[in-house]
Structure 1
Amino acid sequence: MEKLIIEARVNEFMMREEGNPNVPYTPHEIAVDAVECREAGASILHFHARRADGAPDHDTETYAETVRQILATSDILVHPTLGYATLDAGPEARLDHILKMAADPKRRPHFAPMDAGSVNVDRYKPQERRFETTELIYKNSTGTLTYFAENIRKAGLKPCLTSWNVGFTRYASAFLDMGLVDEPAYLLFVLNDNAYLGGHPGTLKGLQAHLDFLPPNRRIEWTVCNFGGNLLALAAPIISLGGHIAIGIGDYTYHELGQPKNADIIRRVANIARELGREVATPEEAKRILGMP
């Protein structure tokens, strides 16, 4: 079994007001988190560019400065988002910041995400029996995905195929069949709990449904996050089944543990892996596992 790749999902759209003051916003804060997460066992860092007040920031220079500071302080692999802050933008605008960064060695990330389908992303409030919003769609058409796949490859980056449900997993398989994504593919299963309903629930059955539809004839390194819920209960099964883990306070504040930092969560996962006899991968080992140059 390959070593475990741990990806730190450090901020997403999580606000500090939601219960954890350690969510990093600025390029400096994210770079500090990168160093700590790398020391704790992470080999990849995923981030959303944010303003100092926590608001989403899709400006290329904010992304680029964040990547520059991470690369200057750590050898961790960098995975910036496209973000659904650009819900109504075309594919060119959504990928433009990634392609511009890829052309500069000092600001060049290693990955670009590619959500393999469309999904409703309105948050549900079960206590009030209502949705906070009713029109938020994370839209990724076949044409958009084709543009992403072709241009991420041209830029020499590794796509992170992202699957919210079985339909996404089947779409990812189709892109492998078409040769638009190189093997081994890096495929993220996005489980959902609490306010988010678009993906499979964060249970073993929810994960198994994804695994049941993995194409048997393709080389795929799969990883799992729980956007909106606690992933730690599934960590041991994921590790034992040969998967990888993507986790952080960007997805869930982990209030059960007080107010942990991202590195605290990463360290817990690394310890679980070692207790199960599986060592964690360094960034260089992660690149080898994922077939990256």
Structure 2
Amino acid sequence: MTGGIITVAPTGAEVSKADFPPLPVTLDELVDTAVSCEEAGASIIHVHIRGEDALPTLDLGRLTDTVDALRSATDLVVQLSTGGAVTDPESDRLRVLDARPDMASCTMGTVNFGDAVFMNRWDFITELHKSMRDKGVVPEYEIFDLGHLTNLARLLDKHGLPHGGHVHVDFVLGVPGGASGDAPTVTAMADAVRRYLPEGTTFSATGIGRTTMPVMLTSVAAGGHLRVGMEDTTSFRRGEKVASNAQLAERAADALRLAGREVLDPEGTRKLLGIG
């Protein structure tokens, strides 16, 4: 097994600051979180931003300032979300790439998202894939259901490999409306990666809410990587709220080390994922 990547997703677009005060929503809070998570073992930060009202935004000026601030304060790979909130228009989601992150997410299909629908049309997916390649941004292909992996295989067959030549996916599991967050689902998706996608494709896995631990442990055992953070869970264990994103990154690092795997630093992560 290779060393393990830890991605931290500290904020997201769903959790309310009013309901969960530790959530980092200001730029200073996000930078402080990034620094502490890098110290805990994270090498990638998956970024959603909030406006002055603490609500999700895709404002390009704020995104650019965020990328610059994270690069100044850390060595983390900066990965922007092009998903935003489920209500964001495609034009705003595409414009995220103009902030020039190292990586960005590219969701590989439409999925029910609780009571809403996270829309990802085929033409939008292909435009996002091509725009990332043109702008030198490495994608992380977000997989909410098994069919999204065959959709990715179709994308690569028709439109070629991404910038950097390496394919990396993230299984986002346990979303109401998407694939289950359990061990059989992780192993089924890991098998589909090996069958349908280019040799050497890497995967990470994310478990939402109470699915965090089974998804994390199964991904580690299957040779995958990890994404953790307050975007995905606000509970550390039953009856105990998450104190910080660094707490979640530390637990992920402990899981990798327990399995005898090195925790990759940002330099090692860039090398593995083909980030220049």
Question: What's the CA shift for 1:86?
Answer: 6.1
Q: Aligned residue for 1:242?
A: 223
Question: What's the CA shift for 1:212?
Answer: 3.1
CA distance, structure 1, for counterparts of residue 202 and residue 245 of structure 2: 23
CA distance, structure 2, for counterparts of residue 227 and residue 31 of structure 1: 24
Q: Aligned residue for 1:146?
A: 126
Q: How many residues matched?
A: 269
Contact 1:2 1:289 in 2 (8 A): no
- For 1:190, the aligned partner's letter is V
Contact 1:200 1:207 in 2 (8 A): no
Q: Aligned residue for 1:111?
A: 103
CA distance, structure 1, for counterparts of residue 171 and residue 263 of structure 2: 19
CA distance, structure 2, for counterparts of residue 237 and residue 58 of structure 1: 33
Contact 1:33 1:263 in 2 (8 A): yes
CA distance, structure 2, for counterparts of residue 255 and residue 2 of structure 1: 27
Q: Aligned residue for 2:154?
A: 174
Partner of 1:70, secondary structure, is helix
Deviates further, 232-241 or 110-119: 232-241
Q: Aligned residue for 2:23?
A: 23
- For 1:226, the aligned partner's letter is G
TM-score (norm. length: structure 1): 0.86
Contact 2:36 2:246 in 1 (8 A): yes
Is there any run of 5+ residues in structure 2 with no aligned partner, and where?
none
Q: Aligned residue for 2:94?
A: 95
TM-score (norm. length: structure 2): 0.91
Deviates further, 77-86 or 275-284: 77-86
Contact 2:186 2:215 in 1 (8 A): no
Question: What's the CA shift for 1:227?
Answer: 3.1
Cα offsets for 1:159-190 (capped at 9, x unmatched): 11011001111111112223433342110101
**1:226-265 pair list within 5 angstroms:** 226-256=207-237, 257-265=240-248
Question: What's the CA shift for 1:2?
Answer: 1.3
Q: Aligned residue for 2:257?
A: 274
Q: Is 1:197–2:176 an aligned residue pair? A: yes
Question: What's the CA shift for 1:84?
Answer: 4.1
Contact 1:247 1:266 in 2 (8 A): yes
Is there any run of 5+ residues in structure 1 with no aligned partner, and where?
103-108, 124-132
Closer, same or farther: CA 291–205 of 1 in aligned 2, 3 Å: same
- For 2:124, the aligned partner's letter is T
Question: What's the CA shift for 1:37?
Answer: 0.5
CA distance, structure 1, for counterparts of residue 10 and residue 131 of structure 2: 26
RMSD, aligned CA: 1.8
Q: Aligned residue for 1:62?
A: 62
CA distance, structure 1, for counterparts of residue 176 and residue 86 of structure 2: 21
Partner of 1:16, secondary structure, is coil
- For 1:289, the aligned partner's letter is L
